[in-house]
A and B are shown apart, each in its own frame.
Chain A
Amino acid sequence: MPDYNLSYFYVFVFFVVGAFFVTLLLGISHLVAPRKPTLEKLRTYESGEEPVGQAWGRYPIHFYVFALLFVVFDVDFIFLVPWAAHFRDFGWTGIVEVTLFIGILVSGLIYAWKKEALRWY
């Protein structure tokens, strides 16, 4: 078993190799692929129509609501992990506490549900 820092160095190397490999593939493609840009080719694709305006604009608020809910439950997961790995040591106290914690979050979910925030238009 390699020590703590070394094991994360391994992970780092995997990341670097992944990014480098993509660069390598695109580099090869850059070398062998033809390049004949025309104005039509470089135009943003809009099913053959002339593109109207920029795409960087507003989009529905629903995404934001779901993202907010996601953050709540993602943090929930982070807090549950250490408890799950050692829940036998915490015993019933741990279960009660986690139930309370999850209960608060679930009441938030129920609130969002009742407010129809989970409905997609």
Chain B
Amino acid sequence: MPVGPFGLDPLIWAPLRLALAVGLALFLVLNGALAQIYLERKLQAIMQDRLGPIHVGPQGLLQTLADAIKLLAKEDVRARLTDKWFFLAAPSIVFAPMLASYAVLPFAKDFVGVDLNVGVLYLATLGSMTVLGIVIAGWASNNKYSLVGGMRSAGQLISYEVPQLLSLITVVLVSGSLSMVQITESQHDFRINLFILPLAFVTYFIAALAETNRNPFDLPEAESELVAGFLTEYSGMRWGVFFLAEYGEVTVVSAILTTLWLGGWSGPWVDSLPILGVAYFTLKTYLIVLVFMWIRATLPRFRIDQLMSFCWKSLIPVTIANILVTAVLLLAFPTTRVPVAVANWLMLGAFVVAIPLLQRRRLAGVRARLRAEAERRAIAV
């Protein structure tokens, strides 16, 4: 009879492992959200020379918990004109794929819910399912703000999904696998993909900001024009679930960035002490989450036309070019990755330099057109 880990019968071990994985994922989502919200509020406060939450618990640590309890005990209002079943289903449709993303995240060696051989594709699929929930929420609310917000979010999410997915391709090219575990293992000894594919890292990072509705891409929640976007009719715990899902999503994209570019659980002494991997993984993930928060405190919000044109006219051509260049160089130099790295760093430099220049030229063109129009109008008068 085969014996599983800890001397358990495989028939008992398999369901136990599944229960553990799901429970741990839920635990991580809830605690991650609590921790992140507190961290974000504190960090924003420090950056804006405020105190942030200080009253509930030591240093305001229990503030988020208090907020969560408040949300639970809040009256749940559903407007009369909403489409009942879709309105009720939307939070689940946003939340369930986010939770399912945790299934393939490799926290450490042999510490992964399920090592799918198509892990990257699976994560990409789940990432796009959020759009579905958001469109449903916007439509089912039967509210003009919600509908406009929902459609805008959909437009933004599907647009930025393209560069996000295409950036993943370059990593798959270099690592030669779609499995999250194998991608991590291909980056041992500090040969992490960030050094080889910095451009893909940057494009994925920008797209991930948009994909999680974070600043500077938080147009769906542009409160000055859309009230709360697709969330306008949602209140109480229903709203709380959307919020949970959003923070969970931030953790998921940070974890994807960690796994694909920062080497996941790998780090010094991890071979002799595998549990260190969890610490490295968490550390790297939260480092990226902190950058997300930093960006939120720094940058103003994009306008919708800037957002769309930046995606379709800058990011997508760059990512496509990146795929072709990477593939050609990998095939031309099968033994070394140095040419790919050099090309990628050069392309990143060109990207960073070219974007402001092109933008300036475009703005000059727009200004000239506006001036010409104004002159024509003046003559006509």
Contacts and interface: CB of A to CB of B under 8 A. Distances in A.
Interface of A: 1-2, 6-7, 10-11, 13-19, 21-23, 25-26, 28-30, 32-37, 41-47, 51, 54-57, 59, 62-63, 66-67, 69-70, 73-74, 76-77, 80-81, 84-85, 87-88, 91-92, 95, 98-99, 102, 106, 109, 113, 118-121
B254 to A, nearest CB: 19
Contact of A59 (B72, B151, B173, B324): B151
Given A55-B144, A106-B320, A109-B317, 5 more contacts: A7-B116, A36-B75, A70-B158, A84-B172, A85-B177
Nearest to A46: B144
Nearest to B152: A63
Contacts of B71: 29
Contacts of A34: 75
Given A7-B114, A84-B169, A26 B309 contact: no
Q: How large is the interface on B (under 10, 10 to 19, 20 to 34, 35 or more residues)?
A: 35 or more
B32 interface: no
A3 to B, nearest CB: 11
Contact of B103 (A10, A21, A73): A10
A111 to B, nearest CB: 13
B14 A33 contact: no
Determine the main DSSP class of B at the interface with A.
Answer: helix
A28 B237 CA distance: 9
Could you say which of A44, A77, A113, A121 has the most chain B C-beta atoms within 10 Å of its C-beta? A44
A24 B238 CA distance: 11
B312 interface: yes
B227 interface: yes
Contacts of A41: 77
A19 B95 contact: yes
Given A55-B146, A118-B309, A26 B241 contact: yes
B331 A92 contact: yes
B26 A17 contact: yes
Contacts of A45: 79, 143, 145, 227, 232-233
B238 A26 contact: yes
B343 interface: no
A107 to B, nearest CB: 12
The 3 residue pairs across chains A and B that have the minimum distance between CB atoms: A18-B96, A18-B99, A120-B305
Given A56-B142, A120-B309, A80 B169 contact: yes
A70 B128 CA distance: 11
21 contacts: A2-B14, A11-B114, A11-B116, A13-B22, A14-B113, A16-B96, A18-B95, A19-B96, A21-B26, A25-B240, A29-B74, A32-B73, A33-B75, A45-B233, A57-B147, A66-B159, A73-B166, A85-B177, A102-B320, A109-B312, A120-B305
